Amino acid sequence: MKNIFSLFILFILAALLVLSSCAKKLDINPRQSIADDVALTNAQGINNAINSVYAALKASSLYGRDLVVISEALGDRAFSNGKGNRFVNENQNTVNAPFGFWGAAYGALNEINLILEAIPGVTTDAATRSRWEGELGFLRALLHFDLAITYAYIPSFTVAAQDKGNVVLATKGFKTAEISINYFPTRATHAAVYGQIMSDIYKAVSQLSNSNRGAYYASKLSALALGSRVALYEGNWVRADSFATAAITLGGIGAITTTANHVSGWRTALNPESIFEVRIATLNEVPTIPNGLQGALTNLVTVGNNTTSNGGFGPLVPNLRLLTDLGISFTPAPNASTLSFGASIPAIARGNDVRNQLFEIGPNVSGRHIECTKFMGKNGAPGVDNVPVLRWAELYLNRAEARSKLSTPDIAGANSDLNFIKTRRITGFTVPANLTGTALTDEITLQRSLEFAFEGYRWFDMKRWGLPIVKTTPAVNLPNTTHRYNNQIPTAEVDGNKNMVQNFGY
């Protein structure tokens, strides 16, 4: 029985299949897209199958909620107010396996590999074939990367004595239980995993043309942007700089927003700054409001309407450290231990950073809190909101960090990128003299925390920088060597695979 739940069985399970018994062969029937051999023998079948992979990113365990919300709860800029008893343990960093997307990610990877293996047998033109392979390569790189930074150490900061290797590489498709049941993969090395990710990215860059299908699909631009992120996590500063520069030079999808349209950009159907965005268009694609992305971050129905609740809980809110850094202050101040204003509406003062306008007072649901309004059902209904995965601001902040850490730092270049962002976020910003040393590093760190607040970046930034986990509300103080930085691999994976090694501390 344990073997049935080994890694590659989970591949198939996450492809929307159900294992009915240990002995029964898995039925690989047509669903949204990927079906059986018949479905992948023509162009329409391949297109549908690729769309299925994009759809897999919407899972609540992936970009539909957890990669954004849980990573914020684990970090040091958010507070779980306990509503609905949601994200309390994650916020206290006491839960063993806060992320649960192992199966969903490997299921999507299995789909990708099956499609790639089928493409050579499908009649189509060279341009279409190249696009198919490029999009799938981008998606495979993205999923491997998300797994790697969650379940393993990040190359830029590793505790050698606790390092158990990286994740399993999935580059071969498995169609049935019979094929996968006797496959017992090992965790690959960090070099092998990041090498495969970069190989897929380089290939995607070469296969995807400048004419693209927009931010809802993989493109040459999104492949370059992802390359910049991956290189930054590796600590490969030259490569991170190069990829970011190539992406900025290429353009073609979206553009950096400014003080005039940054806030409104979060209210449009497609964020104008998105390079790659997970599209959620209808209610049947997302969990019910209390369990979805919007319901996890706010009770607001619409911006400015703090008298009506959307039926969610809004349990995860910014803590006072983030609010202060954003330039938000209150009279009177919230309760120090609950960050609640009770039933009252405080007087709120805001500084010149327009990013603080994306946080506002919520309705009175067991007390009012300041809530994040980046995800507000902009596709017509509460809970139906697209999720930017790669956007333009990251290119400049990635490059600023990379340039500041080159063997011969590019101080002028790093400051230029940093000021490029600040000029487009802070009304009346005056470019100062160049920052150097710790002051430059601290400012890049601050701007990343402000720019990507409640988008799922902070936890992984802390992990790759090797920061201790220090919070006042709740009271958490863990060293950077804590095993909590590496998510627990699902127990069934370890029990069912004699070659699988669990992470340190579990």
Each residue of 133-170: pLDDT tens digit?
999 999 999 999 999 999 999 999 999 999 999 999 99
| Residue 210 tokens, joined | 């400048």
Q: Which amino acid is at 439?
A: A
Residue 93, pLDDT above cutoff 90: yes
Residue 254, pLDDT above cutoff 90: yes
**Model confidence over 279-300: pLDDT tens digits?**
998 888 877 888 889 999 999 9
* Residue 37 confidence class, pLDDT cut points 50, 70, 90: low
Residue 124, pLDDT above cutoff 50: yes
d(CA 17, CA 31): 9
Residue 167 · residue 144 · CB < 8 Å: yes
Q: CA of 165: how far to CAs of 263, 273, 474, 501, in Å?
A: 41, 36, 31, 8
Residue 324 · residue 102 · CB < 8 Å: no
Q: Would you mind telling me the total number of residues written for the chain in this entry? A: 506
pTM beyond 0.95, yes or no: no
Read off the pLDDT of each residue in 408-424 and give the average, rounded to a whole number. Answer: 98
Q: How many CA within 13 A on the CB side of residue 431?
A: 11
Average pLDDT, the chain: 91
What is the maximum alpha-carbon separation in the chain?
A: 70
The residues facing 347 across adjacent strands are 331
Read off the pLDDT of each residue in 306-335 and give the average, rounded to a whole number. Answer: 95
Name the residue among 393, 419, 405 with its Cα closest to residue 240.
Answer: 405
- Give the pLDDT confidence score for residue 29 in this predicted structure: 29
Read off the pLDDT of each residue in 3-25 and give the average, rounded to a whole number. Answer: 35
The lowest-confidence range among 63-72, 231-240, 251-260, 294-303 is: 294-303
Read off the pLDDT of each residue in 375-398 and give the average, rounded to a whole number. Answer: 92
Residue 4, pLDDT above cutoff 50: no
Sequence-ordered list of residues with C-beta below 8 angstroms from that of 59, at least 6 positions apart, any chain:
101, 104
> Regarding predicted confidence, which is higher, 292 or 380?
292
